[in-house]
Amino acid sequence: MVSGGESGASAPAWRGGFGRLWSAAVLSSFGDALRTAALPLTAAALTDDPLLIASVTACGYLPWIVFGLLGGAVADRVDQRRAMGAVDAARGLLMAAFAVAVALGHASIGLLIALAFALTTLQTLFDNAATALLPALVPAERLGSANARLMTGQRIAGGLLGTPLVPLLLAAGAAVPFGVDAVTFLAAAALVASLRTTAPDRTPRAAGSTLRREIAEGLRALRGDRALRGLCAASALCNIGMGALIATLVLLVTDRLGAGSAGYVAATTAYTVGALAGGVGNRWLVARTGPVRAVLVAGTVQTGALVVMGAIPRLAALIAAMAVFGFMGMVWNVNTTTLMQRRTPVDLLGRVGSAFRTVAVAGAPLGALLGGAAAAAWGARTPPLLAAVFFVLSVAALIPGIPAHVPVDAPPADATTTRATG
């Protein structure tokens, strides 16, 4: 098993680069929550065709599958801070233009689909660059705490603050949520631009190197590292199970439990609250188990929570299980991300990180289709049990993939990460 953990003194410093990166990420998450909630409502106001409405959401996933690996390769080539600032500035301008179109009554389904596709295409570069930049701002032993604080802040900004504001903002005008999102993108771009980092010492690219070859190099690194391969396989299986659960949760709550929309809101809120608690409790758990055992514990406990969801037809049991599932989901996400960052050589972080994200996005729609088919064939209680099977497989894939002699950090290489200067 991978050794190593984080001590109680391993919290990242808020002053300097990490604090500004955290602020930019949380601000962007707040704006993303406004847009994510407002876009389907805007689409529903323009058409009653379910396929067209669903297409808006689908186009928010498609660029990850098409461009995810390319975004990772580009992130490893460029100055990541400047790339993130440029992407957020471009997204801010796109959202501002869309807000004007909505205000003038020129919105259409085609425009919504194009916007969703363009924003996510840009996000493939931004997210991969952010994953690669964080180790340049935070020492390796503090990456776990840094990831936990980032993810917790994003969950609070998006799940607890952003989404509930959408009805109020829409009441003020259909364009208002999109205008606010544009402001958050531009403010985040300014925060990222204020970072002061020096470029990491990357291995020089071979003469004639192409993006295609560099993407292949990243995939070879992922496939050739037993620890990274195990984490990636586990993440793929986990996300198939997540897709099956999330796509059919509303059916479980409203049809099987008869709890209506209030029950659905209670279940999703319990998940969010549990995730926030997981962001706080992760450090305590990792200090006692180490990061890999924390992932194993998280996957095992989540499996039990899924069995409870499918086996016990009580709303209270579902709410409790969703809270536990959210808690351990945050533990899983923080530690798999941290382990990937620490195991990957600095000049491959963008490409390996993009492979993880591409697998995650591809797994979720597949799981959603499987969950929908299972619910149609055997009832709404089946998808959580199906998800539990994939979580068992996920934990099983992780165990042989990370044997005892593999260290947490990547083997020594010529490339080293240079820390931020402020």
CA gap 257, 380 in Å, rounded? 10
334 vs 138: which has the higher pLDDT: 334
Phi, psi of 141, rounded to the nearest 5 degrees: -70, -10
- Looking at CATH, the fold of the domain delimited by 1-195 is given as Growth Hormone; Chain: A; (1.20.1250)
User: Does 401 have pLDDT greater than 60?
Assistant: no
Average pLDDT, whole number, for the chain? 79
Question: Is the pLDDT confidence value at 84 over 60?
Answer: yes
Q: Which of 17-31, 219-233, 246-260, 371-385 has the highest mean pLDDT?
A: 371-385
Q: What pLDDT is attached to residue 3? A: 45
Predicted confidence (pLDDT) at residue 40 exceeds the cutoff of 90: no
pLDDT of residue 134: 78
In the prediction, which pLDDT does 198 show?
56
Per-residue pLDDT at 407: 58
- Judge contact between 339 and 209, C-beta under 8 A: no
| Residue pair 238/391 in contact by the 8 Å Cβ criterion | yes
Structure tokens at 123: 């996000």
Chain CA centroid to CA 180, Å: 22
Q: What is the pLDDT of residues 357-389, one digit of tens each?
A: 777 777 777 887 888 888 888 988 898 999 999
Task: Reply yes or no on whether the pLDDT at 193 is more than 50.
Answer: yes
Query: In the prediction, which pLDDT does 8 show?
Result: 43
CB of 267 within 8 A of CB of 322? yes
Per DSSP, the three-state class of 201 is: strand
> In this predicted model, what pLDDT tens digit does every residue of 263-304 receive, in sequence order?
877 887 888 889 989 988 888 898 888 888 899 999 999 999
For residue range 125-162, list pLDDT tens digits in order. 777 777 777 777 777 777 778 888 888 887 788 777 77
Q: In 3D, which of 179, 188, 171 has the Cα closest to residue 129?
A: 188
Q: Is the pLDDT of residue 418 over 80?
A: no
The fold of the 223-408 domain, in CATH, is Growth Hormone; Chain: A; (1.20.1250)
**Averaged pLDDT for residues 304-324:** 95
pLDDT band at 413 (very low <50, low <70, confident <90, very high): very low
Q: What are phi and psi of 133, to 5 degrees?
A: -80, -35
Q: Where are the domains of the chain?
A: 1-195, 223-408
Model confidence, pTM: 0.69
